[in-house]
């Protein structure tokens, strides 16, 4: 069976159940699907966040996600993966990103999903602007996210 790789950047919300069905439909070789959803948190530190607006660099975002998807496919025995990243204005509580990984066994699916999210956070060209009572401002990158991505290159 060939691996199913789906990568989309879109303004619209996504339906997790439909995305999982698209990944697994008609296949009997998949034993595990891991689903990660990143959701717009209604707070940043002590600030209340009403919404985030995500800006991106379209051509590079697609290229970066595709590169990371290829790396994940070569590193773990995956049957397929799906990455959907939203852009535009996203209200608190709404979905931002979806990563699905499918494999015969759970370990590969868990690890590949974590790898993809760590790499997306640190390397995919998206920027969040937060709306709060104090006004709007760009969200600062976290050192923690770079460290999380770096640990996959150590071993």
Residues in contact with other proteins by CB under 8 A are: 38, 54-57, 59-61, 63-64, 85, 96-97, 117, 120-129, 138-141, 145-146
Give 1 or 139: the residue with its C-beta nearer to other proteins: 139
Minimal distance, residue 119 CB to other proteins, in Å: 9
Give 28 or 59: the residue with its C-beta nearer to other proteins: 59
Minimal distance, residue 25 CB to other proteins, in Å: 27
Identify each DSSP E strand in the chain by its residue range.
4-10, 32-39, 43-44, 47-56, 78-86, 88-91, 95-103, 126-132, 135-138
Give 56 or 89: the residue with its C-beta nearer to other proteins: 56
Of 87, 93, 148, residue with least CA distance to 119: 148
Q: What are phi and psi of 11, to 5 degrees?
A: -80, -35
Give 29 or 47: the residue with its C-beta nearer to other proteins: 47
Burial of 132 (0-12, 13-18, 19+ CB in 10 A): middle
CA distance 38 to 136: 21
Minimal distance, residue 92 CB to other proteins, in Å: 16
Minimal distance, residue 105 CB to other proteins, in Å: 25
């Amino acid at each position: 069976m060939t691996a199913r790789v789906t990568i989309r950047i879109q303004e619209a919300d996504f339906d997790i159940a439909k995305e999982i069905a698209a990944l697994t439909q008609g296949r009997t070789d998949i034993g595990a699907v891991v689903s990660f959803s990143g959701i717009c948190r209604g707070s940043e530190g002590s600030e209340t966040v009403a919404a985030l607006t995500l800006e991106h660099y379209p051509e590079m975002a697609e290229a970066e996600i595709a590169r990371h998807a290829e790396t994940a496919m070569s590193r773990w025995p995956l049957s397929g993966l799906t990455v959907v990243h939203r852009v535009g204005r996203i209200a608190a509580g709404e979905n931002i990103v979806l990563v699905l990984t499918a494999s015969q066994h759970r370990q590969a699916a868990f690890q590949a999903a974590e790898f993809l999210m760590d790499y997306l956070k640190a390397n995919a060209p998206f920027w969040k602007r937060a709306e709060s009572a104090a006004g709007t401002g760009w969200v600062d990158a976290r050192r923690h996210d770079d460290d999380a991505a770096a640990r996959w290159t150590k071993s």
